[in-house]
C-alpha cells in the first residue's frame, strides 16, 4: 500500500515512516508515523544509530506505531565488548595496530530491535539493541529501554521499568486475538469510535455481533 509521506495536510513534521526510510534493514509497518520538530525525513540518519551493514542487524517496527521527536534506536555497533579485558575497541583500528581481527570483534551483537504494533514511543526515548517491545506498549519520554517490554505494558525511567499493565490479562488476550491492526482499512474506519473508546464497549460490540468477530479472525488468517 502506497501512503503519502506526510499524512496530515500542511504538516511537514509528521511523516509516514515507512515512506521515509530506504535501508532494507529498517522495516516499518503501515501507518506508523514519526514526528520531529525539525525534519522527520532524516529519521534513518539521525535516529537509527551505529546501524552498520556489517552486523546485518534489523530495526523492525510494526503497524500503527507512534514515535515522538528524538526517539532513538541504538544498535550493536555502539556496544563495546563486555567480556574483554579492556574497553578500548582495538579491532576497529586494524591499520593502526597492524592486526587482522574482524571489526565486529569490538562489540557484542545482541541482535535486532523489534517493535510490535500500536506501540507509543515517547519523546527522546532510547531503545537499545536486542530489545523487543510488545504490541500496545507505551514507552515513557526519555526512557532508556534495555530489556524486553511485555505487550500492553507502560514503562519509564532509566533504565526503563514496568509502571503498569494497561489492561487486565483477559483484555490483553482479547486484543491479541482480534489484532485490529490487521483489519482491512474500511473495517477500521467503520469502527474508529469503538477503537478510540473504552475496551469494554469494544468487547460488547463484538459479543453482540458474532460475524464481526469471525471477519476479524479471517483478516489475520
- The number of beta carbons lying within 10 Å of the beta carbon of residue 180 is 19
Q: Please give the sequence-ordered ranges of beta strands (E in DSSP) within the chain, or none if there are none.
A: 14-16, 26-28, 33-35, 48-49, 59-61, 66-67, 72-74, 113-115, 120-121, 126-128, 132-133, 138-139, 144-145, 153-156, 161-165
Question: At 215, which helix (H) or strand (E)?
Answer: helix 210-220
Catalytically annotated residue among 35, 51, 69, 80 = 80
Q: Please give the sequence-ordered ranges of beta strands (E in DSSP) within 62-150, or none if there are none.
A: 66-67, 72-74, 113-115, 120-121, 126-128, 132-133, 138-139, 144-145
Angle at alpha carbon of residue 76, lines to 129 and 57, rounded to 5° = 80
Catalytic, 80? Answer yes
CA distance 149 to 154: 8
3-state secondary structure of 164: strand
Question: At 197, which helix (H) or strand (E)?
Answer: none
Q: Which residues are catalytic?
A: 80
Amino acid at each position: 500500500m502506497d501512503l503519502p509521506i506526510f499524512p496530515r495536510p500542511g504538516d511537514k513534521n509528521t511523516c509516514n515512516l515507512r515512506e521515509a526510510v530506504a535501508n532494507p534493514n529498517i522495516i516499518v509497518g503501515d501507518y506508523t508515523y514519526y514526528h520531529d520538530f525539525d525534519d522527520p525525513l532524516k529519521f534513518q540518519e539521525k535516529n537509527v544509530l551505529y546501524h552498520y551493514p556489517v552486523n546485518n542487524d534489523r530495526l523492525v517496527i510494526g503497524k500503527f506505531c507512534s514515535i515522538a521527536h528524538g526517539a532513538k534506536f541504538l544498535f550493536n555497533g555502539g556496544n563495546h565488548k563486555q567480556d574483554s579485558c579492556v574497553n578500548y575497541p582495538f579491532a576497529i583500528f586494524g591499520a593502526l595496530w597492524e592486526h587482522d581481527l574482524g571489526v565486529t570483534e569490538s562489540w557484542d551483537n545482541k541482535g535486532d530491535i523489534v517493535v510490535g504494533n500500536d506501540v507509543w514511543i515517547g519523546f527522546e526515548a532510547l531503545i537499545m539493541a536486542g530489545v523487543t517491545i510488545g504490541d500496545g506498549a507505551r514507552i515513557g519520554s526519555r526512557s532508556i529501554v534495555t530489556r524486553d517490554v511485555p505487550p500492553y505494558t507502560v514503562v519509564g525511567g532509566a533504565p526503563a521499568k514496568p509502571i503498569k499493565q494497561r489492561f487486565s490479562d483477559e483484555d490483553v488476550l482479547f486484543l491479541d486475538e482480534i489484532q485490529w491492526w490487521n483489519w482491512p482499512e474500511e473495517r477500521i474506519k467503520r469502527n474508529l469510535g469503538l477503537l478510540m473508546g473504552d475496551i469494554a464497549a469494544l468487547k460488547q460490540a463484538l459479543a453482540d455481533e458474532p460475524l464481526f468477530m469471525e471477519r476479524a479472525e479471517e483478516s489475520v488468517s
